[in-house]
Amino acid sequence: MPGSAPRSTRHFLGLDGLRGVAALFVVLLHATAPFGLNGAIPHAELAVDFFFLLSGFVITHAYEKRLLSALSLGGFLRIRLTRLYPLYLLGLVIGVAVYAGRTALIGHTAAGPDVAIAIASNLLMLPTVAIRRRGWADIMPFDIPAWSLFFEMLVNLAYVAALPLLSGRVLRATVVAGALLVFLQAYHLGAVTGGGTPGQLVFGLGRVIYPFFLGVLLYRMRAFEPDRAPPFLVVVALLALSFLWRPPVPTWLFESLVVVGLYPLLVMWGSRCRLPAAMAAACRFAGDLSYPLYILHYPFVHLFSHLARQFARTTAQVVAVIAVEILFQLLLAYAAARLFDEPVRAWLSGRLRAVRA
Please, which pLDDT band fits residue 111 given cuts at 50, 70 and 90? low
Identify the residue with better confidence: 16 or 349. Answer: 16
Say if residues 296 and 94 touch (Cβ distance below 8 Å): yes
Q: What is the domain partition of the chain in residue ranges?
A: 13-221+231-346
pLDDT tens-digit series, residues 77-97: 999 999 999 999 999 999 999
pLDDT surpasses 70 at 350:
yes
**pTM of the model as a whole:** 0.92
**Nearest alpha-carbon partner for 155 in 192, 123, 128, 195:** 195
% of the chain with per-residue pLDDT over 90: 70
- Concatenating the DSSP letter of every residue in 263-278 gives HHHHHHHHHH----HH
CA distance 37 to 325: 15
pLDDT attached to residue 8: 43
DSSP string, 309-323: HHH--SHHHHHHHHH
Specify the higher pLDDT residue, 143 or 319: 143
- How many angstroms separate the CA atoms of 32 and 297, rounded? 13
Count the neighbouring beta carbons within 10 Å of the beta carbon of residue 347.
12
